[in-house]
Structure 1
Amino acid sequence: MKIELRSKVKKLMLASSIIACLASCSNVEQAAKSTIAAEPKQPNILFIMSDDHTRQAIGAYGGHLAPLNPTPTIDALAKQGTRFDNVFVTNSICTPSRASIITGQYSQANGALDLDGKIGVEKQYLPTLMSGAGYETAMIGKWHLKKEPLAFDYYKVLPNQGKYFDPVFRDINGKGKWPNNKVQVEGHSSDVITDLTIEWLSKRTSDKPFFLMHHYKAPHDMFENAPRYDDYLADVTIPEPGNLYDRKNFGSVATRGENGAMVSELGTSVSKRNPRRNMGIHMDVDQDLSEHDYTADSYQRYLKRYLRTVKGVDDNLARLFEHLKANGQWENTVIIYTGDQGMMLGEHDLIDKRWMYEGSLRMPFIVYHPGKPDAPKVNDDIINNTDFAPFMLELAGVETPEKMHGKSFASTLDNETLDNWRTGSYYRYWMHRAHHDVPAHFGLRTAEHKLIFFYGAHYDATPNQSDLKYAGHKWSRKDGVVPSKVATPVAWEFYDLSADPKEDNNAYNDPKYKDIIATMKVEMLQQRQQYAETDVNYPHIQAIIDAHWND
């Protein structure tokens, strides 16, 4: 009887142990699953860039065009995310800016000084590192870096500038090898590029997160909107910048010439000021109008065409964002919106980019991060486009390689203060008088001040000026080709942006700024060394710098 009882007790004890063990194992398994589930998932990263979309034409930035409500979709993104207010381009022209974004480097380091710059796969650092971090990568839209974007898993890109209507693309799946792997798609480029991105997203089979660069051609000149926008703003008078007609004490001998001798040459204008190239010529304005009426009509046509292409971008973003929401991707996708540089929209009677003036220098940069609901609404750290790659890499969990000049500012989304951050952003425009007759220059932009040195020489020292002749309003070679190598006067410009945000007064010779200017020159030299932006390879430019540094 006792033996039988003991046997039953042992069986009960064994059963209890098994049950306890199973329960324990189950708990361990559940705990493991919970741990796995708690690990943060890499977010998708959608980098959207429009060509020449300046912050003045984005409502969220509150400029004089904001009352027109040109960008409700982008404004809503800014309201949900963070608007970065002090973001600057390092070389305000399409190819160099895009090269700095892909490489995280200044122009001399990556080799793209001007529109002839090329970035091969060996320097396509950003997509390469994203792939290494486990991302599926794609590039759709305007590429403009000449070489095949082989670092991406998928690409469908416009050749060079591309066309607004029925654009041709170079397609990784097209027949033939780059650059002959072309396919044509019907429609307006902004609609088509959005369609292509939605198609790629819809057909993805990978379980990897995606890194997608979605680049619009719009609103690059010459502006061609989809026909449905022909009447947009037709009956509206576009607000004018206050210095469209009166340039005040803006500029210097470098931008006006001795005694104003080059006012009609330097910088494409809205008005008749530059008779060779002004927006009124391109906009078919009546040449018999008075100076004021011509300028007013030219400006209205210019801005309406520009904003109609902006409207097309904004509406297409609404369509793209709706796709992300409908397919459950919105809450795990970091969305970044920017332009490849700023754009002068009539300020100081100037159009296009290239200049270090505010309209051209400042970039829009808006970030929506669904995993950072408490991110600040506005940030005013001094950021430039070499920082974009490090920023996105940190979002993906990748450290910034030493070869990149930029630094990540991702911690700002957690309301952290950036340590040892720059106090000024260095800028350099290399092309000198190409296309829009902008003299070559470099400078430094701090939170409150801007210092610019116009050295006025092309980096290619040949041919000599004796090989050139002047006729009418342009220089030409004996073979008739317009050069970009004619030197212009050298001068400094300084603007106190805290007191003069519109840059109406060049205060370089004002004694009260002497110490500030001296400090900025020291910082400028340090950054030129730090970013390999010196002129050791261009001794003719260094000679100009040496001769005028203390002017």
Structure 2
Amino acid sequence: MKNIQLTIHFRLLAIFSFVQFLSCGEKQTKQITQKPNIIYIMSDDHTTQGFGVYGSRLASLNPTPNLDKLANEGMIFDNAFVNNAICVPSRAAIITGQRAQTNGVVDLEGAIAPENQFLPKEMSKLGYQTAIVGKWHLHHEPAAFDYYQVLPVQGKYFDPDFRIQGEKPWPENVIKTKGHSSDIITDATLDYLKNKRDPSKPFFLMHHFKAPHDDFEYAPRYENYLVDTFIPEPESLYEIKNHGSEAIRGKNDSLTRIIGSSVSHRNVIRNQAMNIYWNDSTIYKQYRNARDIKSEEYVKWEMDAAEKEYTSKVYQDYLKKYLRCVKGVDDNIKRLLDYLEAEGLLENTIIVYTGDQGFMLGEHDYIDKRWMYDESMRMPFFVRYPEKINAGSRTDAIINNTDFAPTMIELAGGTAPEYMQGKSFKSILETGIEPADWQKATYYRYWMHLAHRHQNPAHFGIRTKEYKLIFYYGKYWVDTDDPNAEWNKKSWGNDFTHHTPPAWEFYDLTKDPKEMNNEYSNPEYKEVIADLKKQLTQMREDLNETDAKYPHIQQVIDEHWND
């Protein structure tokens, strides 16, 4: 009897153990096959110079310890570029995977309707719950997302309001908050992760900081950060050398006082001193009077010793304000990562970090973005996902922001739809190898001619790993010579409604990474430039970026293509 009982006992134990094994194996299989969560983090105007991992002159200040750690745990991209270095067109490219003339967004007035919010729509098809928190700026309701809490347009740095889903129609459901936007946006994201998502489903979350967009209003706790530190200055802040062309400098430098907003007093229409010292009556008077002066009446600009001293003071104030905003972003990244780790979510979450474009931090005496110069055009971009991406990996493969959506869709297990113009670089992330047929160049276009008193002429161009070719056509995208033409003066804020000279710029980036020497007229580069023009023509056709709809621009291109 005892033997029979023992036999039954061991059989039951074996069955129980087998069931446990199956159950355990089922859990392991479930864990292995569960789709990864994806968090896409984007800061506004956070340029590569404002990181440690990109090795700029500011790296020694250690401005981003938490972001650097995140970057070094995944893959860093050294050649990530925006299609147009201005907020709305960049965000439109990211959410649609399309270029400007395809998605219809060429300037800050552009908008993306819910039916064209392709990235969240595609992620939803793959079983993801989708959410966006922070800056949106694409005007229509982000209704393609399952959840949203977004700033109205640009939003405020302090005590920001947010638009949310509710009983009233968009955009009437508003909540008010107290605090600094970087903290509040992170609070909202953590609240979503803790309380508003379905933990049984993977999530796709876009977490968008307002910072460090100008005017760089940082949280009061950072008031003493870098207060006694001398911020390294770019050499080109004081010496322009052979940078630029007649398109941005004018004949005999006649346009230097109005083209390209500056750190120094050089640009009398908009400079950083006006932003920082707006109450200075002398500067304010100079700004107001500048509107009525014709460019040929400006006194030729010279950086004498007194102006250099003044410019250095403005630059130091400018960079400290900027880096204090960056510090707030970096600290809040740690809050988010700490939560993910504590909740066991970190390892199965793909984390992407980028900016919506670059930003000029005094290079060539420029502030703001818009330019095709690398500090403006280049985006920080890195991805962490330990299961598939090797820590400490880095690539110089060229990507642009239309490639982001296709890549995230493929990382989520889907296939990038044909209507997206961007290409997935998933294989580069997972292998570290750039495919032989991967793109060797990227196309850029800035449409908002002389807008917002930053006074950047309209231009387009091509950027490869070795070279950059820019053509300034210097006209509005609508024909202002046509008396029936309409364009948004209120939004663009133009003081000068004239065309600027067309011209070419060419830079050999292997010899001149700071873009100090325009070599367009150098006969040694004749064949290289001819080949770049050929590539540029083909890219414009392939990407639906020609000027067939803008004959007044095409005429300038035709007349000056072979200059």
Same fold (TM over 0.5): yes
TM-score, normalised via structure 2 length: 0.89
In the other structure, the counterpart of 1:41 is: 34
Change (3 A) 1:27 1:189: closer
In the other structure, the counterpart of 1:12 is: none
Q: CA shift at 1:275, angstroms?
A: 1.3
Q: Does 1:434 align with 2:434?
A: no
State how far apart, in whole Å, the 1-side matches of 2:513 and 2:389 are: 32
How many residue pairs end up in the alignment? 522
Change (3 A) 1:104 1:112: same
Q: Does 1:449 align with 2:467?
A: yes
Q: Which amino acid aligns with 1:161?
A: Q
Q: Which amino acid aligns with 2:498?
A: V
In the alignment, which of 509, 512, 527 is matched to residue 500 of structure 1?
512
Change (3 A) 1:461 1:366: same
In the other structure, the counterpart of 2:434 is: 417
Q: CA shift at 1:369, angstroms?
A: 0.6
Q: Does 1:303 align with 2:319?
A: yes
Q: CA shift at 1:358, angstroms?
A: 0.9
Q: CA shift at 1:36, angstroms?
A: 3.6
Q: CA shift at 1:376, angstroms?
A: 5.6
In the alignment, which of 423, 433, 450 is matched to residue 407 of structure 1?
423
Give runs of aligned pairs for residues 349-368 of structure 1, distance below 5 A: 349-368=365-384
State how far apart, in whole Å, the 2-side matches of 1:434 and 1:325 are: 44
State how far apart, in whole Å, the 1-side matches of 2:523 and 2:403 are: 35
In the other structure, the counterpart of 1:132 is: 125
In the alignment, which of 153, 165, 169 is matched to residue 177 of structure 1?
169
Q: Does 1:198 align with 2:190?
A: yes
Give runs of aligned pairs for residues 357-396 of structure 1, distance below 5 A: 357-372=373-388, 374=390, 377-396=393-412
Q: Does 1:157 align with 2:174?
A: no
In the other structure, the counterpart of 1:318 is: 334
Which of the two has higher C-alpha Rg?
1
Q: Which amino acid aligns with 2:50?
A: A
Q: CA shift at 1:22, angstroms?
A: 7.9
In the other structure, the counterpart of 1:459 is: 477
Q: Does 1:511 align with 2:523?
A: yes
Q: Which amino acid aligns with 2:311?
A: T
TM-score, normalised via structure 1 length: 0.90
In the alignment, which of 110, 115, 119 is matched to residue 108 of structure 2?
115
Give the match's secondary structure for 1:290. helix
Where does structure 1 differ by over 4 angstroms across 4 or more consecutive aligned residues?
21-32, 285-289, 463-467
Q: Does 1:264 align with 2:257?
A: yes
Give the match's secondary structure for 2:40. strand
Q: Which amino acid aligns with 1:418?
A: P
Q: CA shift at 1:464, angstroms?
A: 5.2
Give deviations 1:89-123, integer Å, cap 9, x for gaps: 00000000000000001111001100001001111
Contact 1:460 1:485 in 2 (8 A): no
Change (3 A) 1:362 1:66: same
Q: Which amino acid aligns with 1:230?
A: E
State how far apart, in whole Å, the 2-side matches of 1:95 and 1:168 are: 20
Change (3 A) 1:419 1:135: farther
Q: Does 1:62 align with 2:42?
A: no
Q: Which amino acid aligns with 1:459?
A: W
Change (3 A) 1:31 1:216: closer
The share of aligned pairs that are identical, in percent, is: 55
In the other structure, the counterpart of 2:289 is: none
Give deviations 1:400-447, integer Å, cap 9, x for gaps: 111111111111122243241111100000000001100000000000
Change (3 A) 1:236 1:354: same
Change (3 A) 1:331 1:439: same
State how far apart, in whole Å, the 1-side matches of 2:429 and 2:441 are: 21
Contact 1:409 1:418 in 2 (8 A): no
Cα RMSD over matched residues?
2.4
Change (3 A) 1:419 1:393: farther
In the other structure, the counterpart of 2:140 is: 147
In the other structure, the counterpart of 1:53 is: 46
Give runs of aligned pairs for residues 524-543 of structure 1, distance below 5 A: 524-543=536-555
Q: Which amino acid aligns with 2:371?
A: W
State how far apart, in whole Å, the 2-side matches of 1:27 and 1:44 are: 28
In the other structure, the counterpart of 1:234 is: 227
Q: Which moved more, 1:373-382 or 1:405-414?
A: 373-382
